[in-house]
Amino acid sequence: MRISSVRAYQVDLPLREGRYTWADGRSVEVFDSTIVEIHTDDGLVGYGEVCPLGAAYLPAFAAGARAGIAELAPHLIGLDPREVTTVNHVMDRALRGHPYAKSALDMACWDILGKATGLPLVTLLGGREGDSVALYRAISQSSPEGMADNVAGYRAEGYRKFQLKVGGDPDTDIARIRAVSARLSPGDVLVADANTGWLMHEAMRVVEGVKDVDVYIEQPCLTYDECLSIRQHTDRPFILDEVIDGLPAVLRAANDRAVDCINVKISKVGGLTKARQIRDLCVSLGIAMTIEDTWGSDIVTAAIAHLAHSTPERLRFSSTDFNSYGTVDVAIGAPRRVGGTMSASEDPGLGVRPDPAILGEPVVSVK
């Protein structure tokens, strides 16, 4: 089996809430997603997706993803897509860095591997663990009262884990965390995610100001060393996300006792192949994970569900269902949230079938 063509499509993903806002007032109203379609010489087709969180979250942006895919695609023609590790080696030799551009291509090869073997990715990634995957809801940054009301609304829909977008003015962030905490019940999980937005003195004030609150602190500052300093000054459970960009970062954080949980985003580390390596290492080290991606639609949500659902339940801190944040249904067969959970499909591969009318004409086409 050989890859015969690679196509990429651009899809706009408007938000149900109209806007998503995080640290430093950064926001997105319409996410710019790229969907990859890989064809093989025996007729199988695989899909992948990459959707950066705007252009100012990680060193990744939508047009860059498409440029990277166009750069990589000629190197993939003629490869066996079932040999996902070999495909990754070829991509890493052809283009240094740019993990997000490789992610959708890797994901599409996994989809083909599943279709070729007749197995869902959850099986190929290790096997289904438990009935369903617990989801968190990201709470866009707004006033303390507005965020508390938002949490109460999503709690009524079944979510029990909430990730507050903070990383703004420290006093307002303390008020946000306290206002939301007051609306939660035992068993609910509250995370304050600063998304690198605090300077160290600001982070120190916030962790001191919420030391009596049952809250996790996520990625307070921009760099690893700044975050480690905050970690060493708080006893709140601590999560790293943006700086965990690959296996070496996980090893360093584990060695430094710098984390209680890490956030594994599929496109941040270059796709399912590398995310699985990190997932398996964290399972062995006993480090819990939020398993997710930067953003996406049905295809990314399906990939998250397969990776998360094949992770031991005790080690998966949370995941998210990006396809419930947007207004566009890109594919049928994707996981749909039930209360605060989702499940991986039992169909071969990712288990999704994109709607050709949504994909439109390809913006990259390489044979």
Residues classed as catalytic: 165, 265
Per the CB < 8 A criterion, the answer to whether 365 and 5 are in contact is yes
Nearer to Mg ion, 22 or 154 (CB): 22
- What distances in angstroms separate CA 176 from CA 139, 195, 280, one per listed residue? 11, 15, 35
DSSP string covering 187-203: T-EEEEE-TT---HHHH
Nearer to Mg ion, 10 or 140 (CB): 140
Nearer to Mg ion, 32 or 193 (CB): 193
Selected range binding Mg ion among 12-20, 237-245, 314-322, 348-356, rule: CB under 5 A? 237-245
3-state DSSP assignment of residue 101: helix
**Between 184 and 213, how does the x/- string for binding to Mg ion read (CB under 5 A)?**
---------x--------------------
Nearer to Mg ion, 37 or 193 (CB): 193
Selected range binding Mg ion among 153-161, 220-228, 238-246, 321-329, rule: CB under 5 A? 238-246
Positions 60 through 79 that interact with Mg ion (CB under 5 A): none
Give least dist CB 268 to Mg ion, A: 10
Give least dist CB 59 to Mg ion, A: 15
Nearer to Mg ion, 291 or 366 (CB): 291
Enumerate residues 6+ apart whose C-beta is below 8 A from 280.
126
What's the token pair of residue 64? 């860059």
- Residue of the chain from 32, 173, 241, 321 that contacts Mg ion (CB under 5 A): 241
* Closest to 353 in 3D by CA, of 335, 322, 334, 331: 331
Classify residue 200 as exposed, middle or buried by CB count within 10 Å of its CB (0-12, 13-18, 19+). middle
Q: Which residue is nearest to Mg ion (CB)?
A: 241
Give least dist CB 263 to Mg ion, A: 5
Enumerate residues 6+ apart whose C-beta is below 8 A from 145.
179
Per the CB < 8 A criterion, the answer to whether 269 and 296 are in contact is no
Give least dist CB 151 to Mg ion, A: 17
Number of residues that bind Mg ion (CB under 5 A): 2
Give least dist CB 283 to Mg ion, A: 20
Rounded distance between C-alpha atoms, residue 231 and residue 85, angstroms: 35
What's the token pair of residue 261? 């949980």
**Between 151 and 190, how does the x/- string for binding to Mg ion read (CB under 5 A)?**
----------------------------------------
Nearer to Mg ion, 220 or 351 (CB): 220
What's the token pair of residue 361? 């004409």
Give least dist CB 123 to Mg ion, A: 29
* Closest to 273 in 3D by CA, of 247, 302, 296: 247
Q: Which residues bind Mg ion (CB under 5 A)?
A: 193, 241
